[in-house]
Amino acid sequence: MPPAIVGGKMLLKRDCYFDAAGANRPLHIWLPDDYAYTDEHYPVMYFFDGHNLYRNEDATYGKSWGLADFLSG
């Protein structure tokens, strides 16, 4: 799946095998603008329910937490 561009940032969606569930689960990965072009190291934050974090169109009830706007801000 190609990355979604949200507020100038890349949002990658990838499936990852989750052993405890015995199934694939989607990962939503938010990357800084220059991630592909720099050797800079970035801090990492992990959240559950990533589909509810960034985009309203991905959120369970149509309303995200607005993290895309916050990170772009």
Question: What distance in Å separates the CA atoms of residue 36 and residue 18, rounded to the nearest whole number?
Answer: 26
Give the global pTM.
Answer: 0.62
Give the CA angle between residues 18, 31, 68 to the nearest 5°: 95
Residue 15 β-bridge partners: 26
Question: What distance in Å separates the CA atoms of residue 40 and residue 48, rounded to the nearest whole number?
Answer: 26
Q: What is the pLDDT of residues 8-20, one digit of tens each?
A: 566 788 889 989 9
Residue 25 β-bridge partners: 16
The type of residue at 39 is D
Q: What is the pLDDT of residues 25-40, one digit of tens each?
A: 888 888 877 777 889 8
